[in-house]
Amino acid sequence: MSLGAHDLQGLERPVCLVASELCTNAVLHAQTPFTVSLESRNDLLLIEVIDGCSSRPESLAATVADNNGRGLLIVESLCTAWGVWLRRDGKSVWASFSLAPEDEPGGGVYGW
């Protein structure tokens, strides 16, 4: 799915950053193959990263000096909602972005 082809160019930066964070978590913590999907559902854009590990991701209390531990805080700040669905073969970590016009902030780029 191309965001530009669906007139969602304003979501490119936040969606790419959230996808990067979720994929990085899969690489570093799940250490299993993973898949990424992006789909539109009604007034939501949903990104989903499915991996083979059943451990839930945890938000860490990162300090200014830490080089990592802020990924889920970034995800939370950029998307409408996020969560984890446990699966028989691992988990799905998902994040959604509202596509409803009334949820779009005034001015600037949507999502930033």
Note the pTM of the prediction, 2 decimals: 0.78
Q: Cα–Cα distance between 63 and 65 in angstroms, integer?
A: 5
Contacts of 66 (CB under 8 A, 6+ apart): 60
Question: Under a CB-based contact definition with an 8 Å cutoff, are residues 74 and 22 in contact?
Answer: no
pLDDT by residue (tens digit) across 1-39? Answer: 577 777 777 788 899 999 999 999 899 888 999 999 999
pLDDT by residue (tens digit) across 56-82? Answer: 876 656 655 656 667 788 888 899 999
Name the region of 21 (left: φ>0; alpha: ψ -120 to 50; beta: rest): alpha
